[in-house]
Amino acid sequence: MIGEVVESRPTGGLWAGFFVVLGLLFGIVFLVAPKKDGWPTVFLPFGIAAGIWLGRDRPTVFRIAEDHLQFEQPTEHMVRFEHLEGVVTSGDREASRTTIQLNHADGVTVIPDRLTVASHELLVFLESKWPRTRSPRIPASLHGYREDQVAKFGEDHIYTFAGRPKMIHRRRSYKGVYAMLGLAAAAVVMGVAGRVTQGNFDDAWMGGGLGVALFGLFIALILFLSGRSLQGDAQAHSGLVITPVGLALVQGDSKGKLRWDEVKAIEYPPVKRMGVTRTANSKHGIGLLVDGAYIVILDYYNRPAPVIYNILCDYWNGGRPA
């Protein structure tokens, strides 16, 4: 993929066109209807269409280089592979279309799902370029274990992963937010138009317009907040050390050490298992099955879960990661 220029495909036009057609149909109905009292409602679908169009995804264009991604649109910037701290996908990482969020030293870069290359191929490439550096930012309780393992096996055979710093997860598209803002604006226009032209129903039109506007603003706020979440302190203070003989973990309330002979299975992503105590309900991460428990290593760390999974499997199977 090196040297390839990747572009995103535009979205939003289809839904905007749908609501424009819906508004035109409303207009035709009220034009031929004998009673035209409800004509101000025509503004609503046009407001939604305008919001979707204004909130449509901007083009994303980037070039894949040996050691970085060079973005040309929507803003010019560079993401070096050595500065990557985490990857978040919006859905199945094996899907041909999924939104990819890159957490890196300079902030967050979101790659949309509609690309000229398959999303999972881009993910595989990024994982092949991911630096396996060791990080000192681990909880103090792991330092002793790590130092002992380094003394026994050498620095090259010990993998240390630190919890990512607090990072905002945000959605790529805000079309829904803009659509609801468009609905709210159109509702105000509808109320004013109804009051001016329908004197007998002025209070009803203003009340109805205000109610729809408040509803649109409320839904817009919910959609906006649902697209952004701030990682908590548990993530920032997590740590994982992987060695030839086992691992040590600090992750919220989950703290302890495991030998490889205690691990019955390693699963990515985690699966549902009956009859065992589960340390976390997240479906994003890596599952470790031990006697009576299912330990989930969450997607908290400064390397992607697939990279950590491969190292775990290599050591669990008695090999040495390359």
Please answer whether residues 41 and 190 qualify as being in contact, where contact means their C-beta atoms are separated by less than 8 angstroms: yes
pLDDT computed for residue 228 by the predictor? 59
- Give how far Cα 121 sits from Cα of 98, 100, 116, 124, 125, Å: 11, 12, 11, 5, 6
Name the residue with tokens 């939003």.
12
Rounded to 5°, angle at Cα 164 from 162 and 165? 120
Are 209 and 190 in contact by the 8 Å Cβ rule? The answer is yes
Q: What pLDDT is recorded for position 244?
A: 95
Give, for 121, the enclosing helix (H) or strand (E). helix 119-128
| β-pair partners for 258 | 247
pLDDT reported for residue 42: 94
Scan for tokens 């300079």, then name that residue: 106
Annotated domain spans of the chain: 5-56+173-226, 133-167+233-322
CATH classification of 133-167+233-322, choosing from 3.20.20.140, 2.30.29.30, 2.40.110.10, 3.30.70.120? 2.30.29.30
pTM here is: 0.60
Q: Residue-wise pLDDT tens for the chain (322 aa)?
A: 889 999 998 777 888 999 999 999 999 998 888 888 888 999 999 999 999 999 887 889 999 999 999 999 888 999 998 888 777 776 676 778 888 888 777 778 889 888 999 998 998 888 788 765 545 578 889 999 999 999 999 998 999 988 876 544 555 568 889 999 999 999 999 999 988 887 655 578 889 999 999 999 999 999 888 765 544 555 667 899 999 999 999 987 789 999 999 999 999 989 888 877 777 777 778 999 999 899 999 888 878 788 899 999 999 987 544 4
